[in-house]
Amino acid sequence: MTIKTWIRAGLPALATTALVSAAVFAQDAAAPAAPAAEALVATVNKGDTTWMMVSTILVLFMTVPGLALFYGGLVRAKNMLSILMQVTVIAAVMMLIWVFYGYSLAFTEGNAFIGGFSKAFLAGVTSESTAATFSKGVEIPEYIFMAFQMTFSAITPALIIGAFAERMKFSAILLFSVLWVTFVYYPIAHMVWFSEGYLFAMGALDFAGGTVVHINAGLAGLVGCLIVGKRTGYGKELMPPHSLPFAMVGASVLWVGWFGFNAGSNLEANGATTLAVVNTFVATAGAIVGWTLIEWLAKGKPSMLGAISGMVAGLVAITPAAGLSGPMGAIVLGFVASIVCFFFVTTIKNALGYDDSLDVFGVHGIGGIIGAIGTGIVVSPALGGPGIADYEMGKQVLIQLQAVGVTLVWGGVGSAIIYWIVNIIVGLRPSVEKEREGLDISEHGERAYHS
Amino acid sequence: MKIVMAIIKPFKLEEVRDALTGIGVHGLTVTEVKGYGRQKGHTEIYRGAEYAVSFLPKLKIEVAVATDQVTKVIDAISTSAKTGQIGDGKIFVYAIDQAVRIRTGETDADAL
């Protein structure tokens, strides 16, 4: 290159750098002096956008292969592929219908319960469209907000399948998932996360989806396993996890990906986001220790399955409180959720005698309920939480309870109706012979292992 | 000609093999099996589900030998496979009608 070219290329580059630096410094200097002026000019920042892209990809990682391996390792070898297949295909189908109409129904104006179709097929959404964050004047590209939410809508139905693992037809699961997100997930997402939403307006706190994702999925799982019935041979035949190493790898991938789930829910990269990161570490650590300890005391030996169950329970519990708790409160929340979930999946489930195969309600449902109600407590500045406007603990806990109640009722009734419809259309359960043979062969024509 | 079949504890395989080689027996078949006798199993707990596992992993060894070798073989296996604890296993002997070496077509005593 000639000197002329260097100058042509170099000067503009230098100038741009100088201008940007000046703008950054000017912004810092201007901020305290003219807050009103700052609020008028909304900006999209490369750091925020990058973080949101990373978070979105992390949540995808949670689904494939995180959840797939976590669940897959917990079932018998003859059903491994059915789990991997259900998670993978559900995720794909959910992504498609999200961009077709799901994003529109969840995140456009309609009424307090559901949005409209103004953004169906992403109409009007371009590379220039923006979405608001929780900070005035800070925005992110709408595409990445849409994509981030898309990954949430993909993982939630995939969570449900664990409850009735090993005994539901692939066609039934797909049909159920499509109907469920349409009539249960999109409305609840709208109610909790959209400004005109019924629960948002009520003041319910749900940072990353304790109600929308975990309580919702947990209850849908419970209803499903009750309707479809127990696995053939449950209680008499041995059906232990076929690969706890896979389950551990899957749970660990879930933990790593959950940083996107929780911290990404702040929609930008700032101090509050780092609080969510810290809470996602320490609440989980508290929960692992909690489950390990209680199992050691109650059963005599601490197990690997217990440790990873604690891991997931803690992650679920901190989800609604990720950016709304202090770290010490997060540890307590994780620890308490672990203890309660432990008792639920060991004592209560057996006493009630139902087959929630992978403890979807026991961990996601119960953990989510504890987390959602607990958020109202740990947000308190007195407990190290960041606090919110007009905070009063009793009032907030009551609001949280109402939000949990609405979710349970809407989700419970909606799920039951949808299972009933799916049963009429395609039938829920495979025949006993197909169940004994294993869903990998009977539904998918393949074997996971050839030994 | 007889087959001497022994159920042994899996970790004893190398010792038994060495003992048999020592008395001139140079071939055996090993199968992984499960079973129980007087040795109790254990309990496995997976979250809420408790399983009493009574089947224990064992190895089944089979050697085909001439009838006059059977006593020596039983002694070799017994000595090398024994630990003195419950669950050491058992040895069974049964008669075989014919034996054939596939590569050469040799039969009976020449095939062993």
Residues A320-341, mean pLDDT to the nearest whole number = 97
Domain coordinates in residue numbering, chain B = 2-111
Q: Residue A350: its chain B contacts at CB < 8 A?
A: 48
Asked whether residue A149 is assigned to any structural domain, the reply reads yes
| Chain segment A234-268, per-residue pLDDT in tens | 988 889 999 999 999 999 999 999 999 999 999 99
- Tell me how many domains chain A contains: 1
The answer to whether residue B53 neighbours chain A at the CB level (below 8 Å) is: yes
Which residue does chain A place closest to B49, by CA atoms? Answer: A346
Asked whether residue A24 is assigned to any structural domain, the reply reads no
Q: Residue A346: its chain B contacts at CB < 8 A?
A: 47-48
Query: Residue A303 and residue B46: Cβ atoms within 8 Å?
Result: yes
Query: Residue B48 and residue A349: Cβ atoms within 8 Å?
Result: yes
Task: Measure the CA angle with vertex A277, ends A366 and A360; round to 5°.
Answer: 20
Residues of chain B with pLDDT under 70: none
Query: Residue B51 and residue A240: Cβ atoms within 8 Å?
Result: yes
- Whether residue A400 is predicted with pLDDT greater than 70 in this model: the reply is yes
Asked whether residue A22 is assigned to any structural domain, the reply reads no
| Chain segment A338-350, per-residue pLDDT in tens | 999 999 999 999 9
Asked whether residue A268 is assigned to any structural domain, the reply reads yes
> In 3D, which of A98, A64, A62 has the Cα closest to residue A83?
A64
Asked whether residue A28 is assigned to any structural domain, the reply reads no
The answer to whether residue B42 neighbours chain A at the CB level (below 8 Å) is: no
Query: Residue B47 and residue A306: Cβ atoms within 8 Å?
Result: yes
**B99, two tokens:** 């034996």
The residues facing B90 across adjacent strands are: B7
Which numeric CATH code is attached to B2-111? 3.30.70.120
Residues A279 and A292: their CA atoms lie apart, in Å, by: 20
Which residue does chain A place closest to B48, by CA atoms? Answer: A346
Do the beta carbons of residue A103 and residue A146 sit within 8 Å? yes
Pairing between β-strand B89-95 and β-strand B2-8 as defined by DSSP bridges:
antiparallel
**Which among A238, A303, A347 has CB closest to B45?**
A303
**Which among A238, A301, A309 has CB closest to B47?**
A309
In angstroms, the separation between the Cα of residue A302 and the nearest Cα of chain B is 10
> In 3D, which of A251, A329, A342 has the Cα closest to residue A290?
A342
Q: Could you list the residue range(s) of the whole structural domain that residue A255 is in?
A: 39-444
**B30, two tokens:** 């090993």
Q: pLDDT-based confidence at A24, cuts 50/70/90?
A: very low
Q: pLDDT-based confidence at A3, cuts 50/70/90?
A: low
> In 3D, which of A451, A450, A449 has the Cα closest to residue A81?
A449
**Which among B44, B48, B51 has CB closest to A345?**
B48
Task: Measure the CA angle with vertex A300, ends B41 and B43; round to 5°.
Answer: 15
In angstroms, the separation between the Cα of residue B45 and the nearest Cα of chain A is 8
Residues A331-359, mean pLDDT to the nearest whole number = 95
Q: pLDDT-based confidence at A13, cuts 50/70/90?
A: very low
Specify the CATH number for the domain of residue A372: 1.10.3430.10
**For chain A, percent of residues with pLDDT exceeding 90:** 89
Does the complex come out with an ipTM higher than 0.85? no
**Which among B44, B47, B53 has CB closest to A346?**
B47
